[in-house]
Amino acid sequence: MRLRDHFTAMIEAGTLAPGTKLAPERTLAEEFSITRVTVRQALTRMEAEGLIFREERRGWFVSPPRVRYDPTANTSFTESITEQGRVAGTTVLSKHQIAASQWESANLGCAVGDPLFAISRLRAVDGRAVLVEQIHVKAERCPGLLEYPLDQSMTGLMSEKYGIVEHRAQINMRPTALSEVPAKALGVAVGTPSLYLSRAILDQFNEVIEFDQEFWRHDAIDICVSATGSLKETANG
Residue spans of the domains in the chain: they are 2-62, 67-227
Look up the pTM and report it.
0.81
Q: What is the 3-state secondary structure (H, E, C) of the chain?
A: CHHHHHHHHHHHHCCCCCCCECCCHHHHHHHHCCCHHHHHHHHHHHHHCCCEEEECCCEEEECCCCEEECCCCCCCHHHHHHHCCCCEEEEEEEEEEEECCHHHHHHHCCCCCCEEEEEEEEEEECCEEEEEEEEEEEHHHCCCHHHCCCCCCHHHHHHHHHCCCCEEEEEEEEEEECCHHHHHHHCCCCCCEEEEEEEEEECCCCCEEEEEEEEEECCCEEECCCCHHHHHHHHCC
User: Per CATH, the architecture of 67-227 is what?
Assistant: 3-Layer(aba) Sandwich (3.40)
Confirm or reject CATH 3.40.50.1820 for domain 2-62, answering yes or no: no
pLDDT cut 70: percent of the chain above it: 95
Most confident of 43-47, 88-92, 219-223: 88-92
**What digits encode the pLDDT tens for the residues 207-225?**
999 999 999 998 898 988 8
pLDDT given for residue 233 in this prediction: 40
Average pLDDT over residues 6-12: 88
More confident residue, 197 or 47: 197
Asked whether the predicted pLDDT for residue 40 surpasses 70, the reply is: yes
